[in-house]
């Protein structure tokens, strides 16, 4: 435990404070003389941590904001605006993203890349993603307004983001993939899956797109690119670090790829607390 203001470890307990969340331990820093409570990631919220954690988990498991709102009313007897729930999702997604963005998974020999269209209220965007075929870890994602290949793409973004590089990358028959792979992974073999007999090679990313579309339909489309990117980043965190996979014997893709954060049973709570500690 360190002082939140001067980072001194010369602190002592200083009674407890009664809040809507219950009794909270207070501390006194003997160096700067300031009193404070521990920042566990929920210090500025009026709601109990379990309310926020439940909201995040239910949303990324597929419930709409309104259904999450109804769940909180029915099970906790509290009325919370759907806008507040959305603000929680945005805020904690940004917090956790800053914590996990530099973590490097151990790469297996095979990656799969694909693209799919997502509809916004005023425009459609192409969602590009790159997944490790064996660990199921989502390595990189990108939104572009058209089906073109920008200089900054999922392959250039993933070049330094993993430990090791793949021996083969599977894609569909899109004509721009060979150049993107050749420019960023010149020693990696590229296999294009263009027939029914090759569909099994890209099943992992097609299943991910299916899960993503289920989540996307609940949102009834994204309002704008910025909002869409934040929700997709939150989904990527949920997919990589929270949701266990049956094909990985109950492990998350992060655990399967060598990133073991020891998050405990409640992985959302563990991610939030660890994100605050290193902030």
Q: Is the pLDDT of residue 198 over 70?
A: no
Query: Per-residue pLDDT averaged across 73-87, rounded?
Result: 93
What pLDDT, on the 0 to 100 scale, is given for residue 36? 86
Query: Per-residue pLDDT averaged across 128-137, rounded?
Result: 94
Write 24-31 long-range contacts (CB < 8 A, 24+): 27/1, 27/3, 29/3, 29/5, 31/3, 31/6
- What is the set of domains in the chain, with CATH numbers? 1-38 (no CATH), 42-101+267-279 (no CATH), 110-258 (3.30.420.10)
List phi, psi (to 5°) of 23.
-75, 130
Sign of the CA dihedral with 239 first, then 240, 242, and 245 last: positive
Query: Per-residue pLDDT averaged across 262-275, rounded?
Result: 94
The answer to whether 64 touches 71, Cβ cutoff 8 Å, is no
Residue 1: both structure tokens together:
């435990």
Q: Is the pLDDT of residue 3 over 70?
A: yes
What pLDDT, on the 0 to 100 scale, is given for residue 212? 78
At which residue do the structure tokens 């800053």 appear?
Answer: 98
Please give the angle made by the CA atoms of 168, 170 and 172, to the nearest 5 degrees. 155
Task: Label the pairing between strands 22-29 and 11-19.
Answer: antiparallel
Q: Is the pLDDT of residue 53 over 70?
A: yes
Query: Per-residue pLDDT averaged across 79-100, rounded?
Result: 94
What pLDDT, on the 0 to 100 scale, is given for residue 150? 74
Q: Is the pLDDT of residue 122 over 80?
A: no
| 69 three-state secondary structure | helix
């Amino acid at each position: 435990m360190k002082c939140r203001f001067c980072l001194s470890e010369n602190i002592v307990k200083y009674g407890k404070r009664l809040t809507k969340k219950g009794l909270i331990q207070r501390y006194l820093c003997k160096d700067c003389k300031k009193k404070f409570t521990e920042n566990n990631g929920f210090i500025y919220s009026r709601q109990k941590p379990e309310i926020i954690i439940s909201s995040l988990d239910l949303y990324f498991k597929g419930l709409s904001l309104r259904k999450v709102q109804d769940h909180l009313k029915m099970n906790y007897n509290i009325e919370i605006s759907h806008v507040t729930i959305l603000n929680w999702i945005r805020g904690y997604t940004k917090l956790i993203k800053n914590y996990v963005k530099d973590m490097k998974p151990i790469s297996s020999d095979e990656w799969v890349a694909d693209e799919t269209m997502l509809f916004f209220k005023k425009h459609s965007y192409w969602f590009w993603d790159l997944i490790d075929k064996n660990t199921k870890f989502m390595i990189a994602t990108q939104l572009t307004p058209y089906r073109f290949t920008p200089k900054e793409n999922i392959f250039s973004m993933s070049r330094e983001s993993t430990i090791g590089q793949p021996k083969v990358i599977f894609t569909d028959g899109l004509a721009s993939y060979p150049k993107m792979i050749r420019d960023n992974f010149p020693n990696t073999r590229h296999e294009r899956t263009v027939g029914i007999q090759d569909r099994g090679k890209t099943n992992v990313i097609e299943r991910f797109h299916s899960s993503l579309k289920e989540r996307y339909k609940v949102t009834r489309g994204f309002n704008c690119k910025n909002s869409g990117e934040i929700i997709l980043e939150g989904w990527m965190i949920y997919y990589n670090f929270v949701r266990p996979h049956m094909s990985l014997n109950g492990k998350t893709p992060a655990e399967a790829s060598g990133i073991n954060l020891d998050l405990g049973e409640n992985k959302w709570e563990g991610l939030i607390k660890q994100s605050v500690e290193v902030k």
